[in-house]
């Protein structure tokens, strides 16, 4: 009888723990915090650039790619909204559905027919960091972009 009870409790624990959705970890509001150049690709060269060049590159990256001034809101119904302010021309919000892989390695954003996969490097209760790769002009450059949770 005890063995049967133990099996039943174990089964219930397995069922309820496997039903836990990883998306719950993201529910809330997150705002852009900072970025750093990833050392992969040409990122290793950043240490060798003069300081004024580095500042110019950082300003270009933030302003031209719409990274800064971005806020994500993830909702319990698996929808999200990304709001922009500042230098992003013609774009103020983006909405769609989101999902998170069970291993917390990828955040998938879907808007209409398009899908954007964010490679997560870190996900905690207070921040997440993803790797954004720029491959335009066949020059590999990756940025580690950090968002922090906005507390109510």
User: What are the pLDDT digits (tens) for 94-131?
Assistant: 899 999 999 999 999 999 899 999 999 999 999 999 99
Task: State the Cα–Cα distance between residues 104 and 123, nearest whole angstrom.
Answer: 7
Residue 16: pLDDT band with limits 50, 70, 90: very low
Residue 6: pLDDT band with limits 50, 70, 90: very low
Residue 7: pLDDT band with limits 50, 70, 90: very low
Task: State the Cα–Cα distance between residues 106 and 102, nearest whole angstrom.
Answer: 9
Task: Please give the domain boundaries of the chain with CATH numbers for all domains.
Answer: 22-149 (2.40.128.280)
- Compute the CA torsion angle 81, 124, 23, 85 (nearest 10 deg): 0
Whole-number Cα distances in Å, 134 to 38, 40, 98, 150: 11, 11, 22, 27
Check residue 8 and give left, alpha or beta (phi > 0: left; psi -120 to 50: alpha). Answer: alpha
Q: Which of 18-22, 23-27, 31-35, 85-89 has the highest mean pLDDT?
A: 23-27
């Amino acid at each position: 009888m005890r063995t049967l009870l133990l099996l039943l409790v174990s089964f219930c624990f397995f069922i309820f723990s496997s039903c836990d959705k990883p998306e719950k970890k993201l529910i809330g509001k997150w705002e852009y915090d900072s970025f750093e150049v990833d050392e992969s690709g040409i990122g290793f060269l950043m240490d060798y650039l003069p300081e004024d060049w580095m500042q110019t590159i950082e300003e270009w990256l933030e302003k031209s790619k719409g990274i800064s001034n971005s806020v994500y809101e993830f909702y319990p119904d698996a929808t999200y909204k990304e709001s922009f302010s500042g230098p992003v021309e013609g774009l103020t919000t983006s909405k769609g559905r989101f999902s998170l892989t069970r291993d917390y390695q990828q955040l998938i954003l879907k808007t209409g027919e398009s899908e954007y996969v964010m490679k997560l490097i870190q996900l905690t209760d207070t921040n997440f960091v993803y790797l954004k790769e720029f491959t335009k002009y066949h020059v590999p450059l990756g940025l580690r972009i950090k968002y922090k949770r906005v507390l109510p």
